[in-house]
Amino acid sequence: MSEFALLAINAIFMANVMTYFGYGVIGLQTDKKNFLYLIISCATTIMGVIIGGSIVFALVNYVLIPLDVIFLKTFIIVFISLIMSYLSRLLIKYTSKEAFYLYEKSYQFAAQTILLVGIMLVFDYSLSFLIGIFLVTMYCAGYILVQLLLYAIYDKLDNAHNLKPARNVPLMLYTISIIGIILSAIGMLF
């Protein structure tokens, strides 16, 4: 049980793809307008990561490794991420058309694809299936943790109060950098 707790802490804090690796930073800009849209978007992203991670795990271990074509792994990850992002956008559209048309931005599909690719690239496919799915789920828990933390402060961030030379950089990037340093420090303790 303690091994799973350490794996969970490591995946949520140390290997948090939102902060530590930075793959999810692009997705932070659009989900903060409405809490319902944030929850629906995070839920569909997490479903896409878990289903896509399972598919990639099966393809890598049962097709690519036996055929000795492991170099195709990145292409397969990107392809499955695109499919999962598209299905996720469709699910959001059918769940809440009002939220979809009000809060969906043209680059949200690309942002979610980058996030899915990032999580699937970080994943270690040499582990057993159950441990792998557990780690992917904990990566998603870290993703939703950061999303909820930043939802609360998103409206409070105002670039007008920032130092004049630094106003071209979105204040959200400063905030996510600080949270990344904190989460990495917490992860180093374990």
- pLDDT(19) > 80: no
Nearest of 44, 56, 51 to residue 147 by alpha carbon:
44
- pLDDT(12) > 70: no
Q: What is the mean pLDDT of the chain?
A: 75
Residue ranges per structural domain of the chain: 3-151
Kindly report whether the global pTM for this prediction surpasses the value 0.85: no
Burial (CB < 10 A; 0-12, 13-18, 19+), residue 110, is: middle
List, for residues 61-84, the tens digit of each pLDDT value: 899 888 988 888 889 999 999 999
**Is the separation of the CB atoms in 92 and 40 below 8 Å?**
yes
Other residues' Cβ atoms within 10 Å of the Cβ of residue 64: 17
| Better pLDDT: 42 or 19 | 42
- Token pair for residue 100? 């979809």
- pLDDT(176) > 80: no
List, for residues 109-143, the tens digit of each pLDDT value: 777 788 788 778 877 778 888 888 887 788 788 77
Grade residue 10 by pLDDT with cuts at 50, 70 and 90: low
Residue 15 CA to residue 5 CA, distance in Å, equals 14
